[in-house]
């Protein structure tokens, strides 16, 4: 990197930090639509469609004055940035933003002309998996798989989403740990998977129930589906719990 481009980079980073905008100018503290300025009946408590212009109004807390404000969709990131500054995590915020932009550029170069936020999220999670697996960060690996299930659900890929949530339950029953090491001595004390710390997340179980309902999956079909994918995942990740044993625990928790 040449001296000039280094200088430019430093300057750009500095302006990025400095351009934190005045939050008092962002958002409406009164029940007024941030798009069309139409008065609303009352202050909405959560995301709401404006009855006049039909656009989505978002509710956030102003980092300066700590009051509820109504903002437009294009102002969400701005408020998140202000909160990151407030919480001392601005560097991390900017790093994540750069990572999203790099990922987006990569998807475009691969032929996806207009990657959505979900496409970007998916790619980031997908890329993180081999890294987390090689670092023995199995709790984080499990969280990444859960995030991928959420992306699939939002994309309307319900069947794939169901499989991913079933996989998360299977991983959970094996008690994934964030070891961050492959040192055999340490792994004896902190094994990568420890079924003693197993826990089924109620939220994930409820997603599975809802997806089974939406997709009309019969209980016996769900069982064979679970056993089949748990066998594959169990082999790949060398999980200690047998799929049929795990199924007993999962089916016992499903309504």
Least distance CB 68 / Zn ion (angstroms): 17
Structure-derived torsion over alpha carbons of residues 105, 109, 110, 111, reported in degrees to the nearest 10: 110
The binding site for Zn ion (CB under 5 A) comprises 33, 35-36, 38, 50, 52-53
Least distance CB 63 / Zn ion (angstroms): 24
Least distance CB 41 / Zn ion (angstroms): 13
- The sheet with strand 48-49 has its strands ordered as 48-49, 56-61, 68-71
Least distance CB 53 / Zn ion (angstroms): 3
HSE-CB at 84 with a 13 A cutoff on CA atoms is 18
Closest CB to Zn ion among 35 and 93? 35
CA dist., res. 25 & res. 63, Å (int): 12
Closest CB to Zn ion among 34 and 115? 34
Q: Are 68 and 34 in contact (CB under 8 A)?
A: no
CA dist., res. 253 & res. 255, Å (int): 6
Least distance CB 21 / Zn ion (angstroms): 22
CA dist., res. 22 & res. 15, Å (int): 15
Closest CB to Zn ion among 50 and 173? 50
Helices 138-154, 202-215: axis angle to 10 degrees equals: 30
Closest CB to Zn ion among 59 and 129? 59
CA dist., res. 128 & res. 108, Å (int): 19
Closest CB to Zn ion among 38 and 64? 38
């Amino acid at each position: 990197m040449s001296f000039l481009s280094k200088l430019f980079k430093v300057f750009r980073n500095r302006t990025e930090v400095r351009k934190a905008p005045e939050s008092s100018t962002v958002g409406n503290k009164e029940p007024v639509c941030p798009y069309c300025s139409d008065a609303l009946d009352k202050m909405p408590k959560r995301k709401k469609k404006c009855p006049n212009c039909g656009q989505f109004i978002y509710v956030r807390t102003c980092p300066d004055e700590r009051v509820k404000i109504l903002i437009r969709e294009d102002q969400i990131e701005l408020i998140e940035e202000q909160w990151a500054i407030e919480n001392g995590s601005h560097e991390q915020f900017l790093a994540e933003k750069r990572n999203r932009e790099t990922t987006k550029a990569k998807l475009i170069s691969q032929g996806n002309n207009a990657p959505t936020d979900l496409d970007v999220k998916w790619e980031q999670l997908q890329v993180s998996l081999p890294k987390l697996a090689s670092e023995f960060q199995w709790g984080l690996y499990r969280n990444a798989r859960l995030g991928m299930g959420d992306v699939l659900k939002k994309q309307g890929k319900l069947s794939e989403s169901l499989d991913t949530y079933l996989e998360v339950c299977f991983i959970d029953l094996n008690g994934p740990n964030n070891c961050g090491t492959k040192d055999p001595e340490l792994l004896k004390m902190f094994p990568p998977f420890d079924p003693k710390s197993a826990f089924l997340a109620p939220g994930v179980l409820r997603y599975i129930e809802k997806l089974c309902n939406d997709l009309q999956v019969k209980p016996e079909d769900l069982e064979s589906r679970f056993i089949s994918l748990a066998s594959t995942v169990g082999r790949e990740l060398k999980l200690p719990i047998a799929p049929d044993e795990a199924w007993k625990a999962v089916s016992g928790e499903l309504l």
